[in-house]
Structures are given as C-alpha cells and as structure tokens.
C-alpha cells in the first residue's frame, strides 16, 4: 500500500522529537490524573453528594466505557485535526469536565465522567499520530513506553495532589487545579500546532464501524488486539484488588498495603521504561511481549496456588513483580501496533486495539469480583489473570502466524 500524504514525515531534529514526547506524555498524565480524582477522593465525594462510596466507584467503569466508545472514531478525529489539535481538544474536554465537577451535584459528576472519558479516548491515537512521525524507528519502543508512563504517573499526580487539596479546602479544589493545568497545556500546545499538524488530512471521514475496520481487514492486528484485551484484564485485576487482598488475606494494615501498591505502580513505571529499552536493543517487540505474558501467567499462578502458604514478604515480592510486568507491557505493545500498521493508519490501528484493551479493563475486574463473590477466595480470583496471561501467549502466536501469512501472500502477488 503506498504511503499517503498523511504519512509524509518531516526530518525532525532530536530536540523536536523530545518536545513531542514531553507534550504527549504530559497530556496523558493530566488525562489519567483527572480520571483518578474521583476514586482517590471517593469518601469525600460520596459524602458530599449523599451517595454510597461504592456507587461513586462505578464512575471508573463508566469512564472506561466512554473511552472505549470514543476510541472507535478518535483516530479519524486525530487524523482530520492533527495530533496536536486533537491533544488540545482532549485538554479542552478535561477542562470542561473539571469545571462541571465544581457544580457539586451527581448530574454534574456524570457530565464530568462523560467528558473525561471522551478525552481519554482521544489521547493515545493523537499521540501515535505525532510520535510515529517524530520518532526514529530504532528508538520507537522506548519512546512509546516513556509516553505510556503518563498513565501511572497520572495516578501519582492524583494521589499526591488530591488529598492535601481536599483536606485544606474541599474535593472540588483538586478538579480546579487539574482544570487549570489543562487550560495552560492547551494554550502552550498552540505554539507548535502548525508544524506538528502539517500532515493532517482534513478529508478524513468517519466510518460506521470506526477504527474497528482495521481489525476486520487485518487478522494479525485482530489477534494483537485480543492480546491487549487479555493483558489489560490481568493488569486491572491486580490494581483493583491488590489492596483488598493484602488487607483481608495477608492481614496487613491499610497504610502498609497502600505503600505496597505504590511500589507496584513504581514497578510498572520502571517496567514500561525497561521493557521498551530492551525491545529497542533486541530490535523486536514480540520476544519481549512473549516474555511478559509468560511471566504474568506464571506469577499469578504462583499467587493463586501458593499465596496462602508463602511468607508475606515473598507474596509482596510477587505482587511487585506482577506490577512490573502486568502494568509494564503497554508501551512495547503500542510500539508493535504502530510497526504493523499500514502507512497512514497508525492512529486507526492504535484506536482499534484500544477498543479491545478497554474491554479488558471492564471485563477483568468484573470477572475477578464475580469469582470472589462466588468463592470468597482471592486464590481463585488470581487464576483469572493467570489464565488471561496464558491466553495472551496464544493470541501472540496467532498474531505472528497471521503476519507471516500476510507477508507470504504479499510476496506471491
């Protein structure tokens, strides 16, 4: 398939590439941080709105559901407007969502959730549009991994910023701070907008199936999307239940469990950087993805079978290892998606696989919760991420087979 005008890349300087990386990572930090404000401040938000804390927790599922639906068309938006303008749009949506939170009503929070979900669905396709043009192929795994550290760093931002502001003023102060940062980012991005969006395609049109058409026409990408579903299910199963598991099964204090979860997030950040650097050194993403899926399946199987027999320090070590792998796969994964995408379709391919990834985010914790409710056993629950890790290996094998088949068919033509 010949390259489209959309793919006509400039010869960027190293400094310009780093500016693109810094901007896309910061946009990811703000979107992720905004999404996590309500879970971080759940008791205060629930008390203020007069609802149960568990009801406020449903906001996360709604957020990811909206982000999943937004991903269907977000690549076309990024392609039509340009990655920089789409990032500005995401910042505008975050700003609007944060302002609506200041209303202080349940309906206002619902509107906030919808806008933040739309913003989150825009960020990765918009970033992919820019990074694929301004990043040398030999550094692409590391660069995409650095950008993906914006997700856990957003959690760090919410955890460090929101509680002190809520204690000094009220829970809405945290939304005001993030909204102000989003406004400043939107304005600053304007300085590079013309250059960064030089290859935008104003003629791009939305399709009925949106970005899912990429999965329909490309079996290897479809299996790669299924891999994202499996790995994200494992990731969110860990992050959703780690604290409860340590408090209820290991009998750790809430403060200690919170500190361990911070280590899990830190391992995820370190993993994203380390696995990206390793993939670049190897010159291939797939061996790293195979290794990560294997470790994910193994570590959760150990937690399921031996978690109740091992000393607490060893279980904590396994949880941190799980963080480094099941939270650390995203950057290498998105770099592989970008590598396989057809010219001019990087944003579409990214958005398409993210639809399946968000499905894993929704399905994984829900199934874990169901298993826990039926059996009362975290050991049984950990069998779920062990299974999805093993299924990810199968999906990767099918994806590699599909790519080889397409290459042979192409040569035959």
Walk me through the domains of the chain, giving residue ranges and CATH numbers. Answer: 13-198 (1.20.1250.20), 209-412 (1.20.1250.20)
Distance CA 172, CA 151 (A): 22
Residue 408 is predicted with a pLDDT of 47
Residue 340 is predicted with a pLDDT of 87
CA 286 to the chain's CA centroid: 19
C-alpha closest to that of 388 among 413, 365, 409: 365
Of the chain, the end-to-end C-alpha distance in Å amounts to 13
Residue 288 is predicted with a pLDDT of 96
Distance CA 138, CA 362 (A): 34
Distance CA 356, CA 290 (A): 19
Scored b (16 or more CB within 10 A) or e, 26-45 reads bbbbbbbbbbbbbbbbbebb
Q: Return the structure tokens found at 286.
A: 């797939």
Cα–Cα–Cα angle for 101, 106, 107, nearest 5°? 80
**Contact between residue 89 and residue 128 where contact means Cβ atoms under 8 Å apart:** no
Distance CA 94, CA 324 (A): 29
Residue 53 is predicted with a pLDDT of 60
**Contact between residue 261 and residue 315 where contact means Cβ atoms under 8 Å apart:** no
Residue 412 is predicted with a pLDDT of 47
Residue 402 is predicted with a pLDDT of 63
Q: Return the structure tokens found at 122.
A: 């825009």
| Residue 372, phi then psi, degrees to nearest 5 | -65, -40
C-alpha closest to that of 385 among 185, 240, 191: 240
Residue 1 is predicted with a pLDDT of 36
pLDDT tens, the chain, 413 aa long = 333 334 444 445 667 888 999 999 999 999 988 988 887 776 778 788 887 665 555 677 788 888 888 877 887 888 888 999 999 999 999 999 999 999 988 898 889 999 999 999 899 888 988 888 888 888 888 888 888 888 878 877 887 788 888 878 888 899 999 999 999 999 999 999 999 988 888 876 666 555 677 787 788 889 999 999 999 999 988 987 887 888 888 988 867 887 787 788 888 889 999 999 999 999 999 999 999 999 999 999 999 999 889 999 999 999 999 999 998 998 899 889 988 887 777 777 888 888 899 889 888 888 888 888 898 899 999 999 999 999 999 999 999 876 655 554 455 45
Distance CA 87, CA 102 (A): 23
Residue 55 is predicted with a pLDDT of 58
Residue 409 is predicted with a pLDDT of 47
């Amino acid at each position: 398939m010949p390259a489209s005008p959309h793919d006509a890349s400039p010869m960027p300087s190293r400094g310009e590439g780093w500016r693109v990386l810094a901007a896309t990572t910061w946009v990811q930090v703000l979107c992720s941080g905004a999404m996590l404000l309500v879970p971080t401040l759940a008791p205060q938000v629930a008390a203020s709105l007069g609802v149960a804390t568990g009801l406020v927790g449903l906001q996360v599922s709604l957020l990811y559901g909206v982000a999943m639906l937004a991903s269907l068309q977000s690549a076309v938006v990024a392609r039509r407007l340009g990655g920089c303008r789409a990032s500005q749009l995401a910042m505008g949506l975050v700003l609007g969502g944060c302002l609506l939170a200041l209303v202080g009503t349940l309906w206002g929070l619902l509107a906030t959730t919808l806008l933040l979900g739309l913003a989150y669905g825009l960020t990765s396709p918009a970033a992919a549009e820019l990074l694929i043009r301004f990043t040398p192929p030999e550094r692409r795994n590391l660069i995409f991994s650095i950008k993906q550290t914006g997700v856990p760093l957003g959690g760090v931002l919410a955890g460090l910023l929101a509680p002190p502001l809520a204690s000094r003023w009220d829970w809405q102060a945290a939304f005001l701070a993030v909204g102000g940062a989003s406004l400043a980012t939107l304005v600053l991005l304007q300085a590079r907008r013309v250059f960064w969006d030089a290859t935008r395609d104003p003629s791009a049109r939305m399709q009925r199936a949106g970005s899912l058409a990429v999965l329909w026409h490309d079996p290897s990408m479809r299996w790669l999307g299924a891999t994202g579903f499996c790995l994200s299910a494992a990731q969110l199963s860990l992050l959703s239940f780690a604290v409860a598991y340590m408090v209820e099964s290991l009998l750790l204090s809430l403060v200690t469990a919170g500190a361990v979860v911070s280590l899990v997030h830190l391992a995820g950040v370190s993993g994203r950087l380390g696995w990206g650097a390793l993939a670049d050194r190897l010159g291939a993403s797939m061996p790293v993805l195979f290794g990560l899926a294997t470790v994910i399946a193994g570590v959760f199987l150990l937690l399921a079978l031996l978690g109740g027999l091992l000393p607490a320090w060893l279980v904590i070590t396994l949880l941190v290892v799980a963080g480094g792998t099941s939270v650390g796969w995203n950057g290498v994964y998105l770099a592989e998606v970008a590598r396989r995408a057809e010219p001019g379709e990087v944003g579409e391919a990214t958005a398409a696989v993210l639809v399946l990834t968000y499905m894993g985010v929704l399905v994984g914790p829900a199934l874990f919760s169901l298993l826990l409710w039926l059996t009362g056993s975290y050991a049984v629950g950990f069998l779920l991420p062990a299974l999805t890790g093993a299924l990810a290996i199968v999906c990767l094998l099918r994806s590699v087979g599909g790519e080889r088949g397409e290459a042979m068919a192409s040569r035959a033509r």
